[in-house]
């Protein structure tokens, strides 16, 4: 009983500085009234409360950190994200921050911290109990048909916690008539707990571009790409990072003998025979959205500048600049509205696959015959690659289902996009430019989005309309 009273006094450290309150607290006892209320508990008006001494605790030192439940994830990957170390005072704000950082990795279904008695009073064990989740995710899914390819399909898989080391590795492929692509990638979000990030990717691609939309069986531009990227990134602040990426690709494009000179002039821009694409990209990103799939708050800014020059061995001399902006809003308690803008400019000579393709940005629009590229491959008859793009739009999402085990959530969404592309050369020749997504630059989409245990999926009406019409 005495211990109880003393503990209460110790806890209410504000009382130590206030003799009046000490007297009140000291009479607390362990006896609990039948209704659960303690008649002699410490109750007083807020006006007399010492707010500087709230809910005080005696000093508790972390004697050890124990990690429980990690059958796959390396213990060090977890410890690197914990803001409290052995010997520190228990700091509950830092523990909560650590919990959120661990959940933010996406490796765990749940993360709970708790304390256990240490070797002596005032010493505690900090226990981190994690429940791991599936980290092998489908991150791309391609399925379609077009006039160019009766069927094409493929998918991408990503393991976000490879060998339990917190590294993402992934790959995707797509196959269709005369076209195939394989991409591999890896991303280490933190090197030894530092803000340094490393990424890499590889691509092996064999593609073809239609040269005459009225003669799909006619000659095509065929080409191959083999290469990859290597990047380093630094987290430079809250949800911000800068990256520097080196890209090296060997490109081979087959010559087009006996082609009508008029068609040849309209052919996508590329150096025939063997060439090298070597470039450096600087990128700044700030992403404070709560969810990239259906965000309800936050924004994203991404600025990119890519330079290819003979100084680093490139056959192509060019510079490419892009700006991405988006802002998310929460409407009617659960609805999601995202406004976004994308702008881009290419100066100089770069292969067509590094230019802007309107269907990568626009949804379904009347009188426009193209599909978005899949794994960097074009399966439509359009070869309208351009140097300029401006695209602005909105996506509105309404949650329609909430599940637990397999299907977490489902939304109905609608999207509108104004997109225009243009070629710098043609703009100079023709003030109206070209490539405005058909007769009007407005496109739309309707569909359903699913958040499931193996990934996020979109069922898009615009894609199907693009195929049908």
Residues 243-302 that bind other proteins (CB under 8 A): 285, 287-293, 295, 298, 300
With vertex at residue 373, the alpha carbon angle to CA 369 and CA 378, rounded to the nearest 5 degrees, is 70
| Least distance (Å) between residue 2 CB and other proteins | 12
**CB-based contacts of 256: which residues, under 8 Å, 6+ apart?**
211, 219, 221, 264, 267, 272
State which of positions 393-422 bind other proteins (CB under 8 A): 398-402, 408, 410, 412, 415, 417
Asked if 225 contacts 203 with a C-beta cutoff of 8 angstroms, the reply is yes
Interface residue with other proteins, options 117, 147, 177, 434 (CB under 8 A): 117
Burial bucket for residue 402 (CB in 10 Å: 0-12, 13-18, 19+):
exposed
| Least distance (Å) between residue 4 CB and other proteins | 7
Rg over alpha carbons for the chain, rounded to the nearest Å, is 30
Name which of 314 and 359 has its Cβ closer to other proteins.
359
Name which of 270 and 377 has its Cβ closer to other proteins.
377
Does 124 bind other proteins (CB under 8 A)? Our answer is yes
Does 49 bind other proteins (CB under 8 A)? Our answer is yes
Does 94 bind other proteins (CB under 8 A)? Our answer is no
| Least distance (Å) between residue 46 CB and other proteins | 5
Interface residue with other proteins, options 92, 215, 274, 425 (CB under 8 A): 92
Does 363 bind other proteins (CB under 8 A)? Our answer is yes
Q: Determine the interface stretch with other proteins among 251-259, 309-317, 420-428, 446-454 (rule: CB under 8 A).
A: 446-454
Name which of 311 and 440 has its Cβ closer to other proteins.
440
**CB-based contacts of 290: which residues, under 8 Å, 6+ apart?**
296, 297, 298, 328
Phi-psi region of 367 (alpha: psi -120 to 50; beta: other; left: phi over 0): left
Name which of 127 and 345 has its Cβ closer to other proteins.
127
Q: Determine the interface stretch with other proteins among 69-77, 258-266, 361-369, 421-429 (rule: CB under 8 A).
A: 361-369
State which of positions 215-244 bind other proteins (CB under 8 A): 238-239, 241
Does 435 bind other proteins (CB under 8 A)? Our answer is no
Partners of 447 in beta bridges:
413, 460
Does 139 bind other proteins (CB under 8 A)? Our answer is yes
d(CA 454, CA 160): 12
Interface residue with other proteins, options 63, 142, 181, 421 (CB under 8 A): 142
Q: Report strand pairing: 240-253 vs 136-144.
A: unpaired
d(CA 256, CA 263): 10
Name which of 121 and 255 has its Cβ closer to other proteins.
121
**CB-based contacts of 326: which residues, under 8 Å, 6+ apart?**
289, 295, 299, 300, 338, 339, 340, 341
Does 18 bind other proteins (CB under 8 A)? Our answer is no
Interface residue with other proteins, options 63, 84, 187, 441 (CB under 8 A): 187
Does 334 bind other proteins (CB under 8 A)? Our answer is yes
| Least distance (Å) between residue 313 CB and other proteins | 25
The size of the interface with other proteins (CB under 8 A), counted in residues, is 119
Does 113 bind other proteins (CB under 8 A)? Our answer is yes
Does 38 bind other proteins (CB under 8 A)? Our answer is yes
| Least distance (Å) between residue 206 CB and other proteins | 19
User: Which of 302, 312, 387 shows the shortest CA–CA distance to 350?
Assistant: 387
SS3 for 244-301 is EEEEEEEEEECCCCCCCHHHHHHCCCCCCEEEEEEEEEEEEEEECCCCCCCCCCCEEE
Does 335 bind other proteins (CB under 8 A)? Our answer is no
Does 389 bind other proteins (CB under 8 A)? Our answer is no
Does 79 bind other proteins (CB under 8 A)? Our answer is no
Q: Where are the beta strands (DSSP E) in 299-387?
A: 299-308, 318-331, 335-348, 356-357, 385-386
């Amino acid at each position: 009983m005495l211990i109880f009273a003393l503990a209460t006094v110790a806890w209410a450290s504000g009382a130590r500085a206030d003799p009046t309150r000490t007297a009140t607290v000291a009479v607390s006892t362990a006896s609990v009234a039948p209704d659960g209320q303690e008649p002699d508990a410490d109750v007083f008006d807020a006006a007399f409360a010492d707010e500087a001494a709230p809910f005080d605790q005696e000093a508790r030192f972390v004697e050890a950190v124990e990690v429980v439940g990690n059958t796959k994830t390396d213990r060090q990957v977890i410890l690197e994200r914990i803001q409290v170390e052995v010997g520190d005072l228990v700091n509950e704000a830092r523990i909560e921050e650590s919990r959120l950082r661990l959940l933010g990795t996406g490796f765990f279904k749940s993360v709970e911290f708790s304390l256990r008695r240490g070797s002596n009073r005032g010493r505690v064990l900090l226990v981190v109990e994690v429940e791991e989740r599936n980290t092998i995710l489908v991150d791309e899914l391609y399925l379609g048909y077009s006039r160019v390819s009766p069927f094409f399909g493929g998918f991408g898989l990503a393991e976000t916690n490879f060998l339990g080391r917190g590294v993402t590795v992934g790959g995707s492929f797509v196959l269709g008539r005369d076209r195939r692509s394989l991409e591999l990638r890896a991303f280490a979000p933190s090197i030894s707990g530092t803000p340094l990030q490393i990424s890499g990717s590889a691509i092996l691609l064999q593609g073809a571009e239609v040269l005459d939309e009225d003669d799909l069986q006619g000659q095509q531009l065929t080409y191959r790409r083999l290469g990859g990227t290597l990047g380093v990134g630094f987290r430079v602040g809250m949800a911000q990072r800068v990256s520097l990426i080196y890209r090296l690709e060997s490109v081979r494009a087959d010559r087009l003998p006996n082609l009508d000179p008029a068609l040849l002039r309209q052919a996508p821009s590329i150096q025939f025979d063997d060439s090298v694409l070597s470039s450096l990209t600087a990128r700044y990103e700030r992403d404070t959205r709560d969810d990239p799939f259906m965000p309800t708050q936050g924004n994203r800014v991404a600025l990119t500048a890519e330079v290819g020059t003979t100084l680093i061995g490139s056959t192509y001399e060019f510079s490419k600049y892009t700006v991405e902006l988006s802002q998310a809003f929460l409407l009617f308690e659960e609805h999601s509205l995202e406004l976004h803008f994308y702008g881009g400019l290419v100066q100089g000579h770069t292969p067509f696959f590094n230019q802007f393709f309107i269907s990568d940005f626009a949804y379904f629009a009347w009188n426009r015959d193209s599909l978005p590229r899949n794994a960097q491959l074009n399966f439509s008859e359009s070869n309208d690659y351009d140097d300029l793009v401006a695209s602005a739009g909105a996506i509105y999402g309404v949650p329609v289902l909430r599940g637990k085990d397999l299907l977490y959530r489902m939304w109905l969404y609608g999207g509108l996009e104004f997109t225009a592309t243009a070629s710098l050369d043609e703009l100079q020749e023709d003030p109206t430019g070209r490539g405005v997504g058909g007769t009007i630059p407005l496109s739309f989409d309707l569909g359903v989005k699913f958040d499931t245990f193996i990934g996020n999926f979109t069922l898009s009406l615009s894609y199907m309309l693009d195929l049908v019409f």
